[in-house]
Amino acid sequence: MCASGKRPWLGLNGCGNCAATLTDGDGGEPGLGDCSAPKYWPTSSEGALGAVGGHSLASVASWADDVRDARPETSNWHFVDIPLAAPKYDAARDCKNDPKYGFCIVAELDRLRHELRCATGNDQVEALKFAVHFVGDIHQPLHTVLEDKGGNDIAVDLLMRGFTCGRTCEPSEIATNFHAAWDFGLIEKIVWDWGAYVDRLEDGWLKSAEATRPGTPVSAACAEPLVSGGAVVRAGAPPDACG
């Protein structure tokens, strides 16, 4: 714990309701950043927005992906590889430090809790940018799955209409992988952009009783920095993908 006593402007334990319903990648993280706006984080938003030059958190939500190639030591910060058969997360097994690519996302989020409170200047700004992104990453269930590289090795064909292709439209088939489809493919098929998807959530599911009822994925994800992707993989993978 730092001894400065200054008030943090972003607390990772203050999850916005949108977190568990948005994915990562260019389709989802800006939406999560939009969900991190003042109405969701009222006590911390002023300092957070000031730290990023008055821009919205959505504008920096994909920054961690943008710098990933140039900073390979951050590569493992985006996920945690938990075996599907494992009943829970085990740090010794699932979050070993790789000298080249770093620790897993669970360890990194724990580090960022300290950096957001204790770092200064650019170090604190970077901590905010990473935190916004990783809160989105860890709520993507496939970011917690070891097998098939979190679904990246499962080829799928995505064919759907959504709002982007109405009744008179002939939908185009997209060859992708299971992870990418979950990341952004489904959202891009449903709506034109992440802002429209956030509006859809706010006008729909987030107004439901389920969104705030204890024990739902929202409250569970805020209480613990991990959601298991095992059920998603078993339910969504092609029949020949799981053996």
Question: Looking at residue 147, which CATH number applies to its domain?
Answer: 1.10.575.10
pLDDT of residue 186: 86
pLDDT of residue 163: 79
pLDDT of residue 38: 42
Residue 110 domain flag: yes
pLDDT of residue 42: 40
pLDDT of residue 54: 55
pLDDT of residue 169: 87
d(CA 111, CA 225): 13
Residue 11 domain flag: no
Q: How many domains does the chain contain in total?
A: 1
Tell me the residue range of the domain where 112 lies.
19-229
Residue 1 domain flag: no
Instruction: Look up the pTM and report it.
Output: 0.69
Residue 2 domain flag: no
Residue 39 domain flag: yes
Residue 51 domain flag: yes
Q: What is the pLDDT along the chain (243 residues), one digit of tens a residue?
A: 554 444 333 333 333 334 434 444 444 454 454 454 444 444 444 455 455 555 677 778 889 999 999 999 999 999 999 999 998 899 999 999 999 999 999 999 999 989 988 988 899 889 999 998 998 898 888 999 999 999 999 999 998 888 788 788 888 888 999 999 988 888 888 877 767 777 777 788 778 887 777 654 433 333 343 334 444 443 444 444 333
pLDDT of residue 70: 97
pLDDT of residue 185: 87
Residue 14 domain flag: no
pLDDT of residue 72: 97
Q: Please report which helix (H) or strand (E) contains residue 156, including its range.
A: strand 155-158
Residue 77 domain flag: yes
